[in-house]
Amino acid sequence: EVQLVESGGGLVQPGRSMKLSCAASGFTFNNYDMAWVCQAPKKGLEWVATISYDGSSTYYRDSVKGRFTISRDNAKSTLYLQMDSLRSEDTATYYCARHSLSGYGYWGQGVMVTVSS
């Protein structure tokens, strides 16, 4: 059974950093591109970043370029999102998802990040 389990969320002050993790199991992690998708409270879904199966390519939405870094450790089957210079508008639930050309077939349960002083 495919499982994606996020961790690392919480309350953080504006301008500070936070690192999210997503532990994957039930599939061959290093065969798949992975993504982070966020959802602000009571709002829609927004793609944040994607990393290729081997980590060689990364893609970001414009609003997080230069502030967020997606990475992965295939030996640990774990996906990461390093979030720096956080802003109040980054407040959202962050989901990790298995990325494919047909869509996101598997999602984690999500982790809440609140950016507030």
Partner 1 sequence: DIQMTQSPASLSASLGETVTIECLASEDIYSNLAWYQQKPGKSPQLLIYYANSLNDGVPSRFSGSGSGTQYSLKINSLQSEDVSIYFCQQNYDSPWTFGGGTKLELK
Which of positions 37-56 make contact with partner 1 (CB under 8 A)?
44-47, 50
Minimum gap (Å) between residue 36 Cβ and partner 1 = 11
Residue 29's φ and ψ, nearest 5 degrees, are: -55, -45
Minimum gap (Å) between residue 63 Cβ and partner 1 = 10
For residue 25, what are the β-bridge partners? 3
Alpha carbons 47 and 97: distance in angstroms, whole number: 10
Q: Which of 61, 82, 112, 114 binds partner 1 (CB under 8 A)?
A: 61
Asked whether position 112 contacts partner 1 by CB under 8 A, the answer is: no
Alpha carbons 5 and 78: distance in angstroms, whole number: 9
Sign of torsion, CA 33 24 3 19?
negative
Contact set with partner 1 (CB under 8 A): 35, 44-47, 50, 59, 61-62, 95, 100-105, 107-110
